[in-house]
Amino acid sequence: MFSYCFSDLVDLERLKELLESFSVIAGVAVAIFDPDDKTLIAAGWQEICTRFHRASPLTAVRCQESDARIKEKSYTDIGTGYRCSNGLFDYACPIIIEGTHLATLFIGQFFLEPPDEDFFRQQARECGFNEQEYIKALHKVPVLSEDNITTVLRFITGLSNILVHMGLERLKNLKVAEEAIVTEKALQKSRERYRAFVESTVDMVFLKDENFRYTMVNKSLANFFDRREEEILGREDYDFMPADVAELYRKSDLRAISAGCVVVEEGNIGNRFFEARKYPVILDNGCIGVGGYIRDVTKKRQLEEQMLQTSKLESLGKLAGGVAHEFNNLLTGIIGYTQLIMQSRVVDDSALADLDQVLQLGNRATELTGQLLAFGRSQAVLPRIININDAVEKTLKMIKHLIGEDITLQFKPDPDLHSVKIDPGQIEQVLMNLALNSRDAMPEGGILSMETMNVILNQEFVVRHAGSREGEYVMLAVADNGSGMDRETLEHIFDPFFTTKEVGRGTGLGLAMVYGIVKQHNGCIYANSVSGKGTLFRIYLPQADQDAEIIETNIVKAESLAGNETILLVEDEEHLRVLIERILREKGYSVYAAASPSEAESLFVKYAGRMDLLLTDMIMPECDGRTLYNRLSEKMASLKVLFMSGYVAAIPGGTGDNYIQKPFMPEELYRKMRNVLDGYQQA
């Protein structure tokens, strides 16, 4: 859309001087009108028109008709002449630029031949003019000869063309200027948006000239130097930091310039880690500077380390669980055969003492494998809906005896604490292990405090703590003001067999077991420690959807461990199968032993109706123990079952108390079997 008027394209003052001079020389009236009939320039108007024709209503109508005819023609014609009804001649030439009618160049109020004076006298009388004055004004109107009118029209046409060309040139200049303004405004907006982006980012953005002096910095970089932006501009790194650090920055800048592309480098200042992306920049003076941004990646590094630590612990946990499972099978045989020999009464007292040592060592090994299973989240668990406050209160008495009188024990429970689903015995193990660690960290006494509260872990927490998930949790915090740990030690505290204690004062499995128990219950645990100031453990356990249970013990101890029932024993480890069969037969049980589930099914079909109890291992080549029991119980609904395993990951939900953990003592097996057979435990 055209947005310019005639006065924007032509110098009206200079044009007015020219037209006034022309009017004097030619003796004709000249004017320029805009499309709305507004007079822009007017010179040499004849008195007969201004004083008489346009002043009288009768003749003014004729003038208006003439104006309308000229205006109508001027939009399309190159130029047009017209004799008005009052007898005078007018001529108009349009000024059209890029298809738009901007103005009309007018000359007129002259005669092409001497006027008929009688006509004008008659008109004076009709209109009520002063005849003498009217005729006097008539004689002032010029009469142009044919040559004169040709010259005048040639001049007017040429002037019109000149004005059009002048307007076009001016229009081009205006458009260029306008485009420049639009471009500048767009650039300004772009700069403002860029600056707003640069200022809003937490990254440190900068630009340096060829002498490595800062020419642009954002607030993040200014804050890093603890200066205002204007204090940094025009200065270099040597003005803000130690010379050795500044030298490293200078070498990094030079590498970016010499590489000719983006260079990514990492480094640290103290405990803070940074990633820098630098690139060469061609400056306005043709020299090469350097620009880029520096990002603080400390939190990213910490999260990567957490994730690496979590992944490492996951792998170690799986390995520990598998190793412990194999050891439990071996220990079951070692402990079982040792007890059989000790009960046989065929060895003397000295041999019995030696065998007792073997049994004690076997029990110690059992404890170690139990800790490994806990770390690997492969320990047998009997989860209950409990209130952690109750578990802590129950354990405090034991902890007080362990830590001594020189350590103050404090507990701050949340009175509105939600319930959690966890094995009560395992939460006691967690508390005991953390308390023992705190005791060892405070040899001269101190404060051991415990606290519980309901918390919500949000996305921000999850981002900063690898291994956590969003949701509602119960937090158990255990803190001491002991010796604390350095960062390197803190990174390994949950590793199995890692310990800072002297030889003989720990297995290095205590915190590994704590970690495994928490993870097994879908929780997470984090530790913070400062050397010389103490350690804080925070344990997060998912909140349960129901209130704490009232736990009652319904298992009745059998008075007699012997029996005459028929047992279907399924165990793929031959030495264990032989040992367990012998143990059972010594108490009067009839035993059919199978090395595989398929063999067990064959025996079950062969001796249908005789079987009272299925005693089966959980992990076997063909199928697990639960699947085997389901198949057999379809054929005999009254069949009872007792599962055994050294690896709790194989125990499915719903097993309940019909489970015995390897390794076990013969007496423990007898009692478990009697409770199942006598109906005190149901699968």
Q: What's the pLDDT at 240?
A: 83
Is 291 in contact with 285 (CB distance < 8 Å)?
Answer: no
Q: Which amino acid does the sequence have at 588?
A: G
Give the separation between CA 676 and CA 558, rounded to whole angstroms: 10
> Residue 322 — very low, low, confident or very high, per pLDDT cuts 50/70/90?
low
Average pLDDT, the chain: 80
**Residue range 520-536: mean pLDDT, rounded:** 88
Burial (0-12, 13-18, 19+ Cβ within 10 Å), 368: middle
- Domains recognised in the chain with CATH numbers: 6-174 (3.30.450), 201-296 (3.30.450.20), 384-542 (3.30.565.10), 566-677 (3.40.50.2300)
Q: What's the pLDDT at 362?
A: 66
Helix (H) or strand (E) segment spanning residue 380? none
> Residue 350 — very low, low, confident or very high, per pLDDT cuts 50/70/90?
low
> Residue 123 — very low, low, confident or very high, per pLDDT cuts 50/70/90?
confident
Q: What's the pLDDT at 376?
A: 46
Q: Mind giving me the DSSP string for 191-210? A: HHHHHHHHHH-SSEEEEE-T
CB burial readout 633-642, b (16+ within 10 A) else e:
eeeeeebbbb
Give the separation between CA 607 and CA 601, rounded to whole angstroms: 10
Range with lowest mean pLDDT among 13-27, 62-76, 318-332: 318-332
Q: Mind giving me the DSSP string for 432-461? A: HHHHHHHHHH-TT-EEEEEEEEEEEE-HHH
Q: What's the pLDDT at 2?
A: 57
Say what percent of the chain tops pLDDT 70: 80
Q: What's the pLDDT at 63?
A: 80
**Residue range 180-197: mean pLDDT, rounded:** 76
Round the CA-based radius of gyration of the chain to a whole number and report it: 53
CB burial readout 7-19, b (16+ within 10 A) else e:
eebbeeeebbeeb
Instruction: Please report the sign of the dihedral spanned by the C-alpha atoms of residue 417, residue 423, residue 424, residue 426.
Output: negative
Q: What's the pLDDT at 520?
A: 79
Strand partners, 265: 276
Residue in the structure block whose two tokens are 């793929």: 572
Q: What's the pLDDT at 570?
A: 94
CB atoms within 10 A of CB 53: 27
Residue in the structure block whose two tokens are 């004689």: 139
Question: Residue 175: is its pLDDT beyond 90?
Answer: no
Question: 217, 289, 252, 215: which is closest to 225 by C-alpha?
Answer: 217
Question: Residue 325: is its pLDDT beyond 80?
Answer: no
Which pTM does this prediction carry? Answer: 0.39
What CA–CA distances, in Å, run from 494 to 451, 461, 582?
22, 21, 41
**What pLDDT digit, counting tens, does each position of 590-638 carry?**
999 999 999 999 999 888 778 999 999 888 888 988 899 999 998 898 8
Range with lowest mean pLDDT among 244-253, 353-362, 454-463, 589-598: 353-362
Q: Mind giving me the DSSP string for 250-318? A: HHHHHHHHHHTS-EEEEEEETTEEEEEEEEEEE-TTS-EEEEEEEEE-HHHHHHHHHHHHHHHHHHHHH
Q: Who has greater pLDDT, 256 or 198?
A: 256
Most confident of 83-92, 166-175, 581-590, 645-654: 581-590
Helix (H) or strand (E) segment spanning residue 571? none
Query: What DSSP character marks residue 477?
Result: E
Say what percent of the chain tops pLDDT 90: 14
What CA–CA distances, in Å, run from 583 to 108, 341, 557, 579?
139, 12, 19, 6
- Evaluate the omega torsion of the peptide bond into residue 663 and state whether it is cis, within 30 degrees of 0: yes
Question: Residue 584: is its pLDDT beyond 80?
Answer: yes
Angle at 19 between CA 13 and CA 21, to 5 degrees: 105
Q: Which amino acid does the sequence have at 580?
A: I
Q: What's the pLDDT at 198?
A: 67
Q: Which amino acid does the sequence have at 72?
A: E
CB atoms within 10 A of CB 389: 18
